[in-house]
C-alpha cells in the first residue's frame, strides 16, 4: 500500500494537480492504520522511506518524517466512511477557481455523476490544518466523492488512492469544461432522469467498491 501512495502522489504532481510540496495523499492499510505523505518533501524526490504511518488518532507509528499538516483532514474521512480506502487533497487550478469563488462544480458531464455523485459542494471556510476542516469536509462528502475547500483547494475520496485521484482528475477536467462553457453562454443541465440513473450507479459503487 505504501507503494500505491507514493505512485499516486507522484502522478498527482505529474498531472498538475499540485505545485511544489502542496497537497497530500493517504491510504488505509490492511491493519486499519493510515499511510500518509510527509510534510514539506518534494514529490520529485519523495521515496518510500519518506512516507509516514499513523493511527486514526494521528499517533505516528512508523516513519522518520513529520506527517502531512493536513493529516486531520484525511483521518476524519477514514473515521467517518468505512468504504473509503484513499484520500487525496489537491490544489487543481480550475477546481480551486470554483473554490475561491465559493461556487459548486455542476455535474454537467454524464460520467461525472457516476464517479463523483453529483454537483461538487463547497465547504464553509475553515482554517487549513485544523480538525474543524476535517469535520466540514466529512459533512460535504456524505453524498459526494469530492468537495471544494473554500479558498483552498479540493478533497476527493475513493476505495483506493488511485481511484481518489481519478475522481480529482474528473472534477478538474469538468471544472475546466464548465468554465469554458460559461464563456459560451453557460452549461445545460443533464435531464433529471439521467442524473437519477447515474446517481444510483454511484451509490452502488460507493458502497460496493470493485477494487
Cell of 77: 474521512
Residues 126-171 have pLDDT tens digits of 999 999 999 999 999 999 999 999 999 999 999 999 999 999 999 9
pTM metric for this prediction: 0.96
Instruction: Indicate if the alpha-carbon torsion angle 110, 116, 122, 128 is positive or negative.
Output: negative
Question: Which domains, ranges and CATH numbers included, belong to the chain?
Answer: 2-207 (3.40.225.10)
Query: Does 70 participate in catalysis according to the annotation?
Result: yes
Whole-number pLDDT of residue 211: 58
Q: Among 11, 19, 44, 70, which one carries the catalytic annotation?
A: 70
Distance CA 52, CA 68 (A): 9
Rounded (10°) angle between helices 93-101 and 161-183 = 70
pLDDT band at 75 (very low <50, low <70, confident <90, very high): very high
High-pLDDT (> 70) share of the chain, %:
100
Beta bridge partners of 154: 90, 148
Amino acid at each position: 500500500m505504501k507503494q500505491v501512495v507514493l505512485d499516486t502522489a507522484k502522478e498527482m504532481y505529474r498531472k498538475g494537480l499540485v505545485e511544489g510540496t502542496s497537497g497530500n495523499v493517504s491510504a488505509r492499510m490492511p491493519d486499519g492504520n493510515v499511510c500518509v505523505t510527509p510534510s514539506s518533501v518534494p514529490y520529485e524526490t519523495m521515496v518510500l522511506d519518506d512516507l509516514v504511518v499513523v493511527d486514526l488518532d494521528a499517533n505516528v507509528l512508523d516513519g522518520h518524517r513529520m506527517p502531512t499538516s493536513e493529516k486531520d483532514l484525511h483521518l476524519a474521512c477514514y473515521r467517518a466512511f468505512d468504504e473509503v480506502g484513499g484520500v487525496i487533497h489537491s490544489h487543481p487550478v480550475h477546481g480551486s477557481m470554483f473554490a475561491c469563488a465559493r461556487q459548486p462544480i455542476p455535474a454537467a458531464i454524464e460520467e461525472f455523476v457516476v464517479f463523483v455523485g453529483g454537483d461538487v459542494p463547497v465547504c464553509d471556510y475553515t482554517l487549513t490544518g485544523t480538525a474543524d476542516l476535517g469535520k466540514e469536509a466529512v459533512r460535504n462528502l456524505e453524498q459526494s466523492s469530492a468537495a471544494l475547500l473554500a479558498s483552498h483547494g479540493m478533497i476527493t475520496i475513493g476505495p483506493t488512492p488511485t481511484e481518489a485521484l481519478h475522481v480529482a482528475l474528473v472534477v478538474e477536467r469538468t471544472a475546466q469544461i464548465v468554465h469554458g462553457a460559461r464563456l459560451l453562454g453557460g452549461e445545460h443541465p443533464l435531464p433529471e432522469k439521467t442524473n437519477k440513473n447515474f446517481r444510483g450507479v454511484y451509490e452502488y459503487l460507493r458502497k460496493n467498491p470493485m477494487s
